């Protein structure tokens, strides 16, 4: 049967060597043999992207983002050629395409480009000829006709965007785990695979450190109603389906995550007057610095402390901006640290359920883990803890909610 259109995406570990590339070729051609049209998005092999970054650093530790994108996009180009050769070897019609050949047009933000449009005519022509199309993930072309990349993990987003543009029946993300788990199965041994999860919960998990899916890919899947599945490229187990919230059974807590890419800045002894927070955060936002958790102490009537978190990558710039504007900020002291991590729980069923927060805090208390900051929203609770405690915190919280 078949006769559908399937977009499949294979990540770095799934194509890490010749044997794995042949494995993917067999899976792709199995789907094709059933009568489906198949478009495959691939990532760079294994640690290729990290190795390329290292190569750049050996030469220039502050390379331009433009040249960095030229370099990083080469990893995916290797994968498409090798996978196409593997499929040729199995005797099936196939054609590989870079992101620009496949029509990925993006905005001009090097290193973190967003897809504006995919001109799908070339892919569609190839599908009409019943060819399997292999597309390089993570890359596109901006209005200057420069190569850009979509940000680390961005091949997931290439795949979902392509599935939306081609109106595919399903987008299957193949990776090295069986699906989306209640926590990272790499270090939480009792983590369980979820059969289903809502777009909103998946978006939160992905944004809060569960790198099994790129967060932009989930945003796009929700926006364009793309049927999304996460599966293993190494077995035929049922994966996880990402769906509309009303099609998913509600759970108080769906998953626990950790994000190590955090830094905290504390502005101590800031004058306690109206407009201070506005001055500080408008300065940061004007300079393109993203701020996540914020706390402000009640203060002693004259002075107060304001602390906030950024990503590690934004820390240097944030400190530079703050130090360049000492006269505006007028803090007695500016302290900072990278030794913090954000640990979060996500679940659409936790809305207004204060018991969930107290249970999370109890799990941390039992492990003697101190909480530095807290943030809550309708479907998540995040705490900032010392980086050294983060893994233990995830395990303790996970055990509290998922083990009886």
- Residue 49: contacted member of ligand ADP, Mg ion, ligand ASP, none (CB under 5 to 8 Å, by partner type): ligand ASP
For the chain, give me the number of helices (H) and strands (E)?
Answer: 12, 18
Least Cα distance to 198 among 379, 401, 7 occurs for: 379
Site size for ligand ASP (CB under 6 A): 12
Left, alpha or beta for 32 (phi > 0: left; psi -120 to 50: alpha)? alpha
- The SS3 assignment for 207 reads helix
Site string for ligand ADP, 257-296 (x = CB under 6 A): ----------------------------------------
Query: Is residue 188 a contact point for ligand ASP (CB under 6 A)?
Result: no
C-beta closer to Mg ion: residue 103 or 153:
153
| 42: β partners | 10, 136
Query: Is residue 154 a contact point for Mg ion (CB under 5 A)?
Result: no
Token pair of 127 as six digits: 């599908």
Of the candidate residues 143, 186, 338, 388, the single one contacting ligand ADP (CB under 6 A): 186
CA dihedral 43, 117, 149, 24 (to 10 degrees): 0
- Residue 177: contacted member of Mg ion, ligand ASP, ligand ADP, none (CB under 5 to 8 Å, by partner type): ligand ADP
- 115 touches 108 (CB < 8 A): no
User: How long, in residues, is the chain?
Assistant: 404
3-state SS of 45-95?
CCCHHHHHHHHHHHHCCCCCHHHHHHHHHHHHHHHHHHHHHHHHHCCCCEE
- 155 touches 9 (CB < 8 A): yes
Query: Is residue 140 a contact point for ligand ASP (CB under 6 A)?
Result: no
Site string for ligand ASP, 81-120 (x = CB under 6 A): ----------------------------------------
- 191 touches 257 (CB < 8 A): no
Bridge-based pairing of strands 333-346 and 373-377 is unpaired
Query: Is residue 143 a contact point for ligand ADP (CB under 6 A)?
Result: no
User: Shortest gap between Cβ of 329 and ligand ASP (angstroms)?
Assistant: 35
Site string for ligand ASP, 60-79 (x = CB under 6 A): ---------------x----
Q: What is the C-alpha to C-alpha distance for residues 304 and 274, in angstroms, rounded to an integer?
A: 12
Of the candidate residues 43, 73, 79, 307, the single one contacting ligand ADP (CB under 6 A): 43
Query: Is residue 209 a contact point for ligand ASP (CB under 6 A)?
Result: no
Residue 159: its H or E element: helix 155-166
Stretch that binds ligand ADP, among 111-119, 141-149, 170-178, 298-306 (CB under 6 A): 170-178
- Residue 186: contacted member of ligand ADP, Mg ion, ligand ASP, none (CB under 5 to 8 Å, by partner type): ligand ADP
* Number of neighbouring beta carbons within 10 Å of residue 236: 8
Query: Is residue 153 a contact point for Mg ion (CB under 5 A)?
Result: yes
- 270 touches 305 (CB < 8 A): yes
Query: Is residue 207 a contact point for ligand ADP (CB under 6 A)?
Result: no
Of the candidate residues 158, 255, 307, 342, the single one contacting ligand ADP (CB under 6 A): 255
User: CB-side exposure of 194: number of CA atoms within 13 Å?
Assistant: 27
Of the candidate residues 123, 164, 177, 208, the single one contacting ligand ADP (CB under 6 A): 177
Stretch that binds ligand ADP, among 11-19, 262-270, 354-362, 364-372 (CB under 6 A): 11-19
Token pair of 209 as six digits: 């450190």
- Residue 75: contacted member of ligand ADP, Mg ion, ligand ASP, none (CB under 5 to 8 Å, by partner type): ligand ASP
C-beta closer to Mg ion: residue 154 or 347:
154
Site size for ligand ADP (CB under 6 A): 19
Site string for ligand ASP, 16-45 (x = CB under 6 A): ---------------------------xx-
- The SS3 assignment for 222 reads helix
3-state helix, strand, coil in the chain (%, to 5): 40, 25, 35
Q: What are phi and psi of 221, to 5 degrees?
A: -60, -40
Residues lying near Mg ion in the complex (CB under 5 A) are found at 11, 153
Residues lying near ligand ADP in the complex (CB under 6 A) are found at 11-14, 43, 153, 175-177, 180-181, 183-186, 210-212, 255
Residues lying near ligand ASP in the complex (CB under 6 A) are found at 11-12, 43-44, 49, 75, 137-138, 152-155
């Amino acid at each position: 049967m078949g006769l559908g259109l399937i977009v499949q995406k294979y990540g770095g570990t799934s194509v890490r060597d010749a044997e794995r590339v042949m494995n993917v070729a067999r899976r792709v051609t199995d789907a094709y043999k059933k009568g489906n049209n198949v478009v495959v998005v691939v990532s760079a092999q294994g640690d290729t992207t990290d190795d390329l970054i290292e190569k750049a650093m050996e030469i220039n530790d502050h390379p331009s983002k433009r040249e960095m994108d030229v370099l990083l996009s080469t990893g995916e180009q290797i994968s498409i050629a090798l996978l196409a050769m593997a499929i040729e070897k199995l005797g099936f019609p196939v054609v590989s395409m870079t992101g620009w050949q496949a029509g990925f047009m993006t905005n001009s933000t090097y290193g973190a480009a967003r897809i504006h449009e995919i001109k799908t005519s070339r892919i569609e022509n190839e599908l009409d000829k019943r060819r399997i199309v292999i597309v390089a993930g993570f890359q596109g072309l901006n209005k200057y006709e420069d190569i850009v990349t979509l940000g680390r993990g961005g091949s997931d987003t290439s795949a979902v965007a392509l599935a939306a543009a081609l109106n595919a029946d399903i987008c299957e993300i193949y990776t090295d785990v069986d699906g989306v788990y209640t926590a990272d199965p790499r270090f939480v041994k009792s983590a369980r695979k979820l059969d289903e999860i809502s777009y909103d919960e998946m978006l939160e998990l992905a944004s809060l450190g569960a790198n099994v899916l790129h967060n932009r890919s989930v945003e796009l899947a929700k926006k364009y109603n793309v049927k999304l599945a996460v599966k293993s490229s190494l077995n035929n187990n049922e994966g996880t389906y990402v769906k509309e919230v009303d099609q998913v059974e509600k759970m108080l807590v769906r998953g626990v995550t950790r994000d190590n890419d955090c830094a905290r800045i504390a502005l101590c002894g800031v004058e306690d007057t109206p407009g201070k927070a506005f001055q500080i955060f408008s300065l940061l936002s004007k300079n393109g610095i993203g701020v996540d958790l914020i706390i402000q102490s009640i203060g002693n009537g004259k002075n107060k402390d304001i602390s906030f978190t950024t990503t590690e990558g934004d820390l240097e710039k944030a400190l530079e901006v703050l130090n360049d504007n000492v006269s505006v900020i007028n803090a007695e002291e500016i302290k900072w640290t990278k030794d913090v991590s954000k640990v979060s729980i996500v679940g659409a069923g936790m809305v207004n359920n204060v018991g969930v927060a107290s249970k999370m805090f109890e799990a941390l208390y039992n492990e003697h883990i101190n909480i530095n900051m807290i943030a809550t929203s309708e479907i998540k609770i995040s705490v900032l803890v010392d980086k050294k405690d983060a893994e233990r915190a995830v395990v303790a919280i996970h055990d509290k909610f998922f083990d009886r």
